[in-house]
Amino acid sequence: MAEPVGLLVDWGGVMTTNLFGSFDRFCEAEGLDRGAIATAFRHDPDARELLVALEEGRMEPADFEPRFATMLGLSPERHSGMIARLFEGSALDDAMIDAVRRARGAGVRTGLISNSWGLDSYPRDLLGELFDGVVISGEVGLRKPAARIYELGAEAIGLEPAACVFVDDLPFNLTPAAEMGMRTIRHVSADETIPELEAALAVSLAP
């Protein structure tokens, strides 16, 4: 009998539309340069530490928003609700939702590994429908690319890492997964990812 195969996926940017596009629309609406969010996290150590603390659940969104908004130069009246506005330009990717649903229906064990910006924005009913196991950074106190969070993802669906395929939109989040034996797929679009998943999982994900 063939070894079981599991599918582990990221949430934002894989099961949803591109987050950086949403961030750029936020910047345009707030009078900031496009790319200001990504630039801050890549090049400002203080901004990076805020992000890590938020994703690991060591900082509440209500504390993150005014501090990060101040770094971006936003006026105080624009601080509240900033996270919601950052993500309002993204939406569920129906093609990826359907593909994961079909994979699970075909007997593939499915799981989520997500870096969170607070815990209230996930559609929990949908997560329960799509996934056998859910690992959210703010709940476990770890964030990608820490190796342990991938192990937790595999454990959550009852498989060894080498029996799993992992999908993420960020290349540096794929590296630890590959190092522990997972097959990795960098997500750019559903049109590219779904055929790769069909080949990796040996199942049809067509409507």
Q: What is the pLDDT of residue 206?
A: 85
Strand partners, 30: none
**Average pLDDT of the chain, as a whole number:** 95
- 6-17+91-201 to CATH, choices 3.20.20.70, 3.40.109.10, 1.10.645.10, 3.40.50.1000: 3.40.50.1000
CA torsion, points 184, 189, 195, 197, in degrees to nearest 10? 30
Vertex 82 angle, CA 79 and 85, to 5°: 145
pTM score, two decimals?
Answer: 0.94
- Domain limits of the chain? 6-17+91-201, 19-87
For 13-30, the pLDDT digits (tens) are: 999 999 999 999 999 999
Under 8 Å between Cβ of 113 and 10: yes
